[in-house]
Amino acid sequence: MAVRKHNKKKLSRMRRNRLPLQTGNNGCLQQMRNLRVDLDEVKQRLVDYGADAAFDTVVSGSCDPTHLLVLLAGLTSDGSSLNAWELFGFPPRQLRSVARRMRQCAKDIEVLDRNKMLRLMLWPKFSGKLSMEQFFDRVASLPTLMRESADTMDDVSRNSQIAPRALNPFNIALAQLVAYVQRYTGKPNDDHVSAMVNAACKRSFGRPYTADALKVWRNGHSDLIRDLGEALSLRFDR
């Protein structure tokens, strides 16, 4: 489907939320590169499938646009019967090790930027994408983001509601998305969420995921939504 002309402006506006690459160890840098590519792909799908208005509406209800894009990107994971841990790419013990490395990476970034030198060295690479104030704010917030992500991984690795189960990856990702949207907008927003799901999964043409279908799914997965919402999505409160 061709992108509508007026959507090009919306895509440009959405791209202003683009995540800048930061330094750290090679693993952290590659993970952030992959995340940025995934989020850019989700942004494009929202425009291509006409779900950008639904995205904007949910964001206006107090959802953070980057958090929302991360959760939508989770819907694009492949597989039908993966163990929950496979969605993270690590078993529980290794996940805790990843969390420790992320905390160390956060410390390293703080040392590198102690005298604001890191952000000054990086600024020329991003001067055309963000204002200086936006870029400096993102560099300064990166250690906190990494530590809170590490805290979340620690919580998840010890969560008895997740560890024993073989769960459908789509259900896990959708439960997090539903819990997050409902938490921050105060209501399920089934029509907007289903539109974004269709776009993220490229399902709008053929077998669209309707708002009624999402409501039925929510009612049948309320425990999963609660458990994963507490373990993952509600971390965004911090």
Q: Is residue 36 part of a domain?
A: yes
Q: Are residues 60 and 172 in the same domain?
A: yes
Q: Is residue 15 part of a domain?
A: no
The band of 224, judged by pLDDT with boundaries at 50, 70 and 90, is confident
Is the pLDDT reported for residue 126 higher than 70? yes
> Which tokens hold the place of 118?
């890191």
> What mean pLDDT comes out for the span 3-30?
44
The band of 19, judged by pLDDT with boundaries at 50, 70 and 90, is very low
Q: Is residue 194 part of a domain?
A: yes
Query: 154-181 as b/e, with b when 16 or more CB fall inside 10 Å?
Result: bebbebeebeeeebbbbebbbbbbbbbb
**pLDDT tens figures, 92-124:** 678 888 889 999 999 999 998 888 888 888 888
The band of 4, judged by pLDDT with boundaries at 50, 70 and 90, is very low
Q: At what angle do helices 211-220 and 222-231 cross, to 10 degrees?
A: 80
Residue with tokens 């750290």: 24
Q: At what angle do helices 169-185 and 211-220 cross, to 10 degrees?
A: 100
Q: Is there a contact between 141 and 194 (Cβ–Cβ < 8 Å)?
A: no
Of 114, 115, 102, nearest to 143 by C-alpha is 102
Domain count, the chain: 2
User: Of 133, 165, 197, which residue sits at a domain end?
Assistant: 165
Is this model's pTM higher than 0.85 or not? no
pLDDT at residue 110, rounded to an integer = 92
Q: Are residues 153 and 108 in the same domain?
A: yes
Q: Is residue 17 part of a domain?
A: no
> What dihedral angle (degrees, nearest 10) is formed by the CA atoms of 47, 53, 57, 63?
0
> What mean pLDDT comes out for the span 124-139?
87
Q: Is residue 99 part of a domain?
A: yes
pLDDT at residue 212, rounded to an integer = 93
The runs of H, that is alpha helices, within 16-164 are 26-48, 52-60, 65-74, 92-112, 117-126, 132-157
Mean pLDDT of the chain: 76
Q: Are residues 111 and 136 in the same domain?
A: yes
**pLDDT tens figures, 167-223:** 567 788 888 899 999 888 889 999 999 999 999 887 755 678 889 999 998 988 888
pLDDT at residue 83, rounded to an integer = 52
Q: Are residues 153 and 171 in the same domain?
A: no
Q: Is residue 111 part of a domain?
A: yes
Q: Is residue 226 part of a domain?
A: yes
Q: Is residue 217 part of a domain?
A: yes
Is the pLDDT reported for residue 26 higher than 50? no
Q: Which residues pair with 83 in a beta bridge?
A: 166
Is the pLDDT reported for residue 29 higher than 50? no
